[in-house]
Structure 1
Amino acid sequence: MTDAAAHHKHHQLNYAEFPCRDLTATKAFFQQVFGWSFTDYGPDYTAFANSGLDGGFFRSEQMARTATGSALLVLYSSHLEATQAAVEQAGGQVIQAIFSFPGGRRFHFTEPSGNEFAVWSE
C-alpha cells in the first residue's frame, strides 16, 4: 500500500466541494473562525485542510443551502456560544440561532459566499 493510500479509507467520505462566489472572503472567514488552511489551484479553485474533512471551493454563483436541497455539513465546537460570536464577528450570518435537538445544541450560518453550515455541541 502506498503512503497516499494509507491515508484514505475505502468507501469513507474523503472530500467535499462547495460553490463559491468570493474565494477571498470565504477563505478569510474560515481561516479566521475555524483555523482552516488553503491551497489555491489557479484563480477559480482553492482546497481546504485542517477542517476534519478535506475539500475545496470552486468559483460559482451557486450556493449550497438546505432550502434548495443541499447536504448540510456540521462542524463541532466545545464552546458553542463563542463559536457563534466568532462566526458573526467574521462576517458570517447566523440563519438559525442556537437551538436544542436530541443529542445537543446547534446553530446554522452562512459564510460570505452564502453556503450554509451548522455547528453543534453536546
Structure 2
Amino acid sequence: MRFDRDERFAGETKYPLRKMARLAIDGVTGFSTVPLKLITRLGFLVLTLSFAGIVYALAMKVFRPDITVSGWTMLMVVVLFLGGVQMLSLGVLGSYIGRTYSEAQGRPLYIVRQVVRHDGH
C-alpha cells in the first residue's frame, strides 16, 4: 500500500548517511532471514563452480600434463571443494540460527493491517 508523505517541516535532516546506512542494514538483517538464504544459495553456487573447477583441473592433468605444475591439480581440487562445502555449511548453519533467533523474539506470525476499536474511537 502506497502513501504520500508531506514535506519535512524542519528543513534538511541532520542524520548522517553512515548512520542511515547502518540503520538500513540493521533493518534488513534484524527482521529478515533473506540474507542468510542468499548465503546458502551462494554456497550452492560456489560448490557447483568448484565442481566445474575440479573437472577443469582434472581435465588439464589428463589432457595437458605438459603444462600443469606438479601438485597443482590436487591443490585446486581440495581448495575448491572445501571452499564450496564451507560456504554451503555456513549458509545452512546461518539459516538455522536465524530461525532460532526469530522464534526467540516471540513476534507474531502475522501483521495487523487495521485496528478496530469498539469503544467509539
Quick one: higher RCO (CA 8 Å, sep 6+), 1 or 2?
Answer: 2
More helix by share: 2
Q: Same fold (TM over 0.5)?
A: no
> Per the shorter chain, which TM-score range?
under 0.3
More strand by share: 1
TM-score of the two chains, using structure 1 as the length reference: 0.20
Q: Pick the structure with greater CA Rg.
A: 2
